[in-house]
C-alpha cells in the first residue's frame, strides 16, 4: 500500500477562517490525507486566505512564488488556494501563479478533495468558485484543533453593507443554521470532552432573520445553558445596531454564558459611522454598554476601532477617544484605515493623510493601553477561576508559569504551585482558582499559590489526545493555533 499523501493548511485572517481550516483539515483527513510532520514538506499545501488585510494579495503571491521552486523539487506536490482572496481574485491566481493546482472559494470548501483529485488526474489547474453557499459548512467533517474549546458556527455571511468591508461581497448574504443543528453539534462536542464553545457568526444579533425569529439568538444562549457539562459559552461578533436587551438578559441569566462582550465600535463619531454605513450612533453604543454593565457588573468589554476612515477629522477622532474613556474597554483592536479594493470606501474622497492616520493610531493605542491597564488593576488581589489553556503564554517556558483564561476571557499567567511550594499538576482544560498579584495592560499575573484545582473532562480529553499523539498516531492537527481567544483577533460585526 502506498504512503498516504500529506497536507499542510496555512490560515490567514479571522476566526471564520480558522474554523473553516478545521473543516478543510477534516475533509482532507476523511479523504485519506495525513498531516505533514513539522520538518517535512507536505504533498499538498492549502492556503486559506484573507482579503481584508492590506497587501494580502502581495503576501499571498510572495508565498506562492516561494513555493514554486519547492514544488519543482517535489514531484506530485499540489498547491491549493481558498478563502476570501480566492473568492475575490479567482482566475487571477492561476494567471499570476500557474503552478497553483486548485482555487476554491468561500462557498465550496467541501469541494477541495475532489478538486485536488481532478487536478491530479487531468494534470491541469481546477478553479471552482460558487456565488452562493453550496452546503452549510457545519455539515462537513471537522478536525478540531483543541480538545477543550471549540468554535460552533451559527451563521455565515452578512446582510450589512459597511463601506470598508469586503465580507458581504465575498461571504454573501446571511445564512442561519437551524437551532436544533447547532445544539446537536454542541452536545456532541460536550460528549467528546469540550467544555467551552464560542458561537460564531458575522453578526450574531441578526441570527434568526432567515427563519423569522428576531429573538432567536437570546433563545439560543438560554438553550446552551441547558446543556449539562458545558461550562463556558462565548460568542462573536454582535453588531450594535441589532443588539437587543433580551440578549443582555439571556447573558446575565444563563450561568454558563460568560460575562464578556466583544462589540465592534469602529468609530465614536456619528458622522464617520454614517459614512461607514453603520446605522447605530455613539449614544446607542454606550447605552448598550451601560445596560450590559448594569446586568453584569464585571463584564469585560472589548472592541474593534478603525482610525483614519476617509473624511475623519480631529474632532471625529476625539469622539472615538471619548468613547474609549467612557466604555472602559478591557482591550481594543485598533486598525489604521487602508483602502480595501472592492469596497465602497476605497473610492471615497477625503482619504486621510497617512501621517495623520499613524499619529491618531498611536494616540489611540496609548489611550487603549492606559484604560486597559486601569481596568486590569482592579483585579489585583482578587481571586479568579481560570480554564487552563495551551500555547497562550509565550514566556511560560522561561517563567515556569502556565496560562489560562478567566470567565471574562482575560489572559492570566499563573505559577502552578500550592501553598507548600509543590508544583500542582494541571492540564489544558482543567480549572484552577488563583489570586491575581499583578496587572499589565494585556494580561494579569498570579504568582501566589494556586487556591484550588479541578480536574475536568476537558483536561481528560486533552490528555487522551496528547497521549495518542505521542504514541505516533497522527491526529492531523492543522498548522493554526488553538481557537483564538476573542481578545486576540479582529472580528466583524
Q: 239 vs 405, which CB is nearer to ligand SF4?
A: 239
In angstroms, the CA 309 to CA 356 distance is 11
Q: 20 vs 231, which CB is nearer to ligand SF4?
A: 20
Q: 113 vs 168, which CB is nearer to ligand SF4?
A: 168
In angstroms, the CA 188 to CA 199 distance is 15
C-alpha to C-alpha distances, 377 to 293, 328, 374, 454, nearest whole angstrom: 18, 12, 5, 26
Q: 61 vs 136, which CB is nearer to ligand SF4?
A: 136
Q: How far is the CB of 491 from ligand SF4 (least distance, A)?
A: 8
Nearest to 80 by CA among 13, 6, 10, 130: 10
Q: How far is the CB of 303 from ligand SF4 (least distance, A)?
A: 13
Q: How far is the CB of 162 from ligand SF4 (least distance, A)?
A: 3
In angstroms, the CA 394 to CA 404 distance is 12
What is the CB neighbour count within 10 angstroms for residue 73? Answer: 8
In angstroms, the CA 481 to CA 465 distance is 16
DSSP 434: E
DSSP 210: G
Helices and strands: H and E segment counts in the chain: 15, 21
Q: How far is the CB of 244 from ligand SF4 (least distance, A)?
A: 16
Q: How far is the CB of 337 from ligand SF4 (least distance, A)?
A: 13
First-last CA distance in the chain: 49
Residue 282: phi and psi, rounded to 5, are: -50, -45
In angstroms, the CA 447 to CA 399 distance is 10
CB 32 within 8 A of CB 1: no
Nearest to 165 by CA among 333, 341, 13: 341
Residues 6+ apart with CB under 8 A from 147: 192, 193, 194, 428, 429, 458, 461, 462, 464, 465
Q: 174 vs 430, which CB is nearer to ligand SF4?
A: 174
Is 492 labelled as part of a ligand binding site? Answer: no
Is 224 labelled as part of a ligand binding site? Answer: no
Q: Which residues bind ligand SF4 (CB under 6 A)?
A: 158, 160, 162, 165, 167-168, 202-203, 239, 492-493
What is the secondary structure of 185-201 as a DSSP string? HHHHHHHTT--EEEEE-
Q: How far is the CB of 451 from ligand SF4 (least distance, A)?
A: 40
Q: How far is the CB of 239 from ligand SF4 (least distance, A)?
A: 5
Q: 160 vs 409, which CB is nearer to ligand SF4?
A: 160
DSSP 417: B
Q: How far is the CB of 153 from ligand SF4 (least distance, A)?
A: 14
Dihedral, CA atoms, 116, 122, 125, 131, nearest 10 degrees? -70
What does the block give as the cell for 109? 470548501
In angstroms, the CA 259 to CA 151 distance is 18
Q: How far is the CB of 22 from ligand SF4 (least distance, A)?
A: 20
Q: 80 vs 158, which CB is nearer to ligand SF4?
A: 158
Q: How far is the CB of 158 from ligand SF4 (least distance, A)?
A: 3
Q: 222: part of which helix (H) or strand (E)?
A: helix 216-224
Q: 29 vs 176, which CB is nearer to ligand SF4?
A: 176
What does the block give as the cell for 106? 468561500
Residues 6+ apart with CB under 8 A from 272: 266, 309, 311, 312, 316, 319
Q: 277 vs 443, which CB is nearer to ligand SF4?
A: 277
Q: 288 vs 436, which CB is nearer to ligand SF4?
A: 288
Which residues define the annotated binding site for [4Fe-4S] cluster? Answer: 14, 50, 84, 158, 162, 165
Write out the binding residues.
14, 50, 84, 158, 162, 165
Amino acid at each position: 500500500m502506498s504512503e498516504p499523501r500529506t497536507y499542510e493548511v496555512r490560515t490567514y485572517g479571522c476566526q471564520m477562517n480558522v474554523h473553516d481550516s478545521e473543516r478543510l483539515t477534516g475533509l482532507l483527513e476523511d479523504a485519506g490525507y495525513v498531516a505533514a510532520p513539522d520538518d517535512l514538506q507536505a504533498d499538498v499545501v492549502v492556503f486559506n486566505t484573507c482579503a481584508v488585510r492590506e497587501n494580502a494579495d502581495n503576501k499571498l503571491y510572495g508565498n506562492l512564488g516561494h513555493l514554486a521552486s519547492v514544488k519543482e523539487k517535489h514531484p506530485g506536490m499540489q498547491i491549493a488556494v481558498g478563502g476570501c482572496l480566492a473568492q475575490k481574485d479567482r482566475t487571477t491566481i492561476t494567471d499570476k501563479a500557474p503552478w497553483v493546482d486548485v482555487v476554491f472559494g468561500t462557498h465550496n470548501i467541501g469541494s477541495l478533495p475532489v478538486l485536488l483529485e481532478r487536478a491530479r488526474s487531468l494534470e491541469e489547474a481546477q478553479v471552482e468558485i460558487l456565488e452562493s453557499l453550496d452546503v452549510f459548512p457545519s455539515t462537513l467533517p471537522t478536525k478540531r484543533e483543541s480538545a477543550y474549546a471549540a468554535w460552533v458556527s451559527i451563521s455565515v455571511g452578512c446582510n450589512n453593507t459597511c463601506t470598508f468591508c469586503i465580507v458581504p461581497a465575498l461571504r454573501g448574504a446571511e445564512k442561519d443554521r437551524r437551532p436544533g443543528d447547532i445544539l446537536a453539534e454542541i452536545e456532541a462536542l460536550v460528549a467528546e470532552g469540550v467544555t467551552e464553545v464560542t458561537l460564531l457568526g458575522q453578526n450574531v444579533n441578526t441570527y434568526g432573520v432567515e427563519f423569522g425569529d428576531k429573538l432567536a439568538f437570546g433563545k439560543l444562549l438560554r438553550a446552551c445553558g441547558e446543556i449539562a457539562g458545558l461550562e463556558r459559552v462565548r460568542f462573536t461578533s454582535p453588531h450594535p445596531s441589532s443588539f437587543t436587551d433580551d440578549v443582555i438578559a439571556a447573558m446575565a441569566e444563563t450561568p454558563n454564558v460568560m460575562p464578556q462582550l466583544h462589540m465592534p465600535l469602529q468609530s465614536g463619531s456619528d458622522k464617520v459611522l454614517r459614512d461607514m454605513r453603520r446605522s447605530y450612533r455613539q449614544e446607542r453604543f454606550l447605552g448598550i454598554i451601560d445596560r450590559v454593565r448594569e446586568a453584569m457588573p464585571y463584564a469585560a468589554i472589548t472592541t474593534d476601532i478603525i482610525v483614519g476612515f476617509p473624511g475623519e477629522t480631529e474632532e471625529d477622532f476625539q469622539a472615538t477617544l471619548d468613547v474609549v474613556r467612557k466604555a472602559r474597554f478591557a482591550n481594543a483592536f485598533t486598525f489604521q484605515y487602508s483602502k480595501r479594493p472592492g469596497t465602497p470606501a476605497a473610492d471615497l474622497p477625503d482619504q486621510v493623510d497617512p501621517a495623520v492616520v499613524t499619529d491618531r493610531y498611536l494616540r489611540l493605542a496609548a489611550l487603549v493601553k492606559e484604560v486597559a491597564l486601569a481596568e486590569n488593576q482592579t483585579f489585583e488581589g482578587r481571586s479568579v477561576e481560570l480554564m487552563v489553556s495551551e500555547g497562550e503564554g509565550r514566556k511560560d517556558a522561561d517563567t515556569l508559569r502556565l496560562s489560562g483564561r478567566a470567565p471574562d476571557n482575560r489572559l492570566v499567567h499563573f505559577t502552578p504551585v500550592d501553598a507548600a511550594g509543590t508544583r500542582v499538576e494541571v492540564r489544558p482544560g482543567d480549572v484552577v482558582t488563583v489570586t491575581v498579584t499583578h496587572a499589565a495592560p494585556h494580561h494579569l499575573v498570579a504568582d501566589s499559590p494556586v487556591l484550588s484545582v479541578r480536574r475536568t473532562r476537558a483536561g481528560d480529553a486533552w490528555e487522551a489526545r496528547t497521549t495518542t499523539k505521542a504514541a505516533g498516531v497522527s491526529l492531523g492537527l492543522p498548522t493554526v493555533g488553538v481557537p483564538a481567544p476573542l481578545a486576540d483577533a479582529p472580528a466583524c460585526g
